[in-house]
Amino acid sequence: MKICFASLRKKINHTDVLEHGMDVFYESFRYYVKNNPQHQYSYYNFAFGKGAERDKSVIKEAEVIIFPAVQEFIYFANAMHPRDVEKSQSMIRETYEYLNDKQIILLTQDRGVDEKMVMNYTFEGKVKPKSFQVIDEMDFSLGLHGLKYHYIQKDFRMPTTKHTDFIYWGSDKSKVAGGEKSKDERLDIIKSIQTLEKIDMLSTIIIGRWPFKVKDKWMPLKKTLGYLDQSHTTLCFNWIDQKAVTGRYHEALACNVVPLVWKNYDSTNILVADKWQRCFTIKDIYDKIEEVKKSDMWLKKIKQNLIDKLPTEKQYYEEFEKILNDRIKR
């Protein structure tokens, strides 16, 4: 097959892990390419290393388009300036005619980014693919972002002491595509935690797109790790699907940060080691942070639970290879 790996929005020059949010997909695809030389591969606006280019001819000539959707929902949730959204959309529109009658495979790590959103918003209802398949991070054992644990463990950082009570890295999910309210609670919870800092009850670091002052709007995970290393706890949320898990859980434990979880996050306990981790009120969060600061008992128990069941890097890559082959054959 002629397979094109296409970053339709952001130019991605993938040089190392922990630099891009979807690096687990990029590394999995790198493994796939190496082990499946029977296919012909091309890249649109993406490169392993340097030199990513927007050459529409590679999309035109391909049979299969693999589309890694990087934070796709923020373009349609009133989280960006309309001028920037339109600039990005105008470049995608130039590919519409070449996407028709193609086998499209969406790579997604967000519950809000699915076939419906991509077809109706990203492609504005103007693309008619031959087929549309999805590979979701939740198609993998413990979530494909379990790879992050392995990447972080291999990353060298200077030892540091923990002196920050709570850290959160991620974005506001209070709106869905179209700008409607999502009923996601994390905005209110993070604001409440910040209020505790204002009255000197907690110390916090908040990173990401939020409608209030934060440490930074965005930074690569590799740079974020230094802040995680100095922090005691974080809080994991999910929206749309409470059975799903997120990369934050793996990333936190790789940095010896205790992942508390909000309400029914990971409701089937794919990752959650103990009901103690579940928080239902701000008081729950505060009390458990204080408990973590006094003893490493919970950190040891929760981390060991993950280590005991986490697949190896190679097992994740082999699982990706099997799933991608399945999607291509459909």
| pLDDT score of 78 | 78
Strand ranges across the sheet with 231-236: 204-207, 164-169, 231-236, 258-262, 278-279
| pLDDT score of 330 | 74
Distance CA 77, CA 107 (A): 20
| pLDDT score of 266 | 96
133, β-bridge pairs: 105
| pLDDT score of 268 | 95
Long-range contacts of 180-185 (CB under 8 A, 24+ apart): 182/112, 182/239, 182/240, 183/239, 184/237, 184/239, 185/237, 185/262, 185/263
| pLDDT score of 141 | 95
Q: How deeply is 162 buried, as exposed, middle or buried, from its count of CB atoms within 10 A (0-12, 13-18, 19+)? A: middle
Q: Write out the DSSP string of 274-329.
A: -GGGEE-SHHHHHHHHHHHHH-SHHHHHHHHHHHHHPPPHHHHHHHHHHHHHHHHH
Task: Write out the two tokens for 136.
Answer: 């979701």
Second-level CATH architecture of 2-140+313-329: 3-Layer(aba) Sandwich (3.40)
| pLDDT score of 275 | 98
| pLDDT score of 156 | 87
pTM as predicted: 0.93
| pLDDT score of 106 | 98
Nearest to 167 by CA among 225, 222, 111, 210: 225
The count of C-alpha atoms lying within 13 angstroms of the C-alpha of 198, restricted to the half-sphere facing its C-beta, is 7
| pLDDT score of 214 | 86
Q: How many helices (H) and strands (E) does the chain have?
A: 12, 12
- Hey, is 248 helix, strand or coil? helix
Instruction: Judge whether 158 and 225 are in contact, CB under 8 Å.
Output: no
Q: Which CATH superfamily is domain 146-309 in?
A: Glycogen Phosphorylase B; (3.40.50.2000)
What does pLDDT average to in each consecutive run of 10 residues of the chain (330 residues)?
Answer: 96 96 97 98 97 97 96 83 94 97 96 92 97 96 97 92 96 77 88 91 92 86 96 92 91 98 96 98 97 97 98 98 94
| pLDDT score of 183 | 79
Owner of token pair 């109706």:
120
Instruction: Judge whether 10 and 16 are in contact, CB under 8 Å.
Output: no
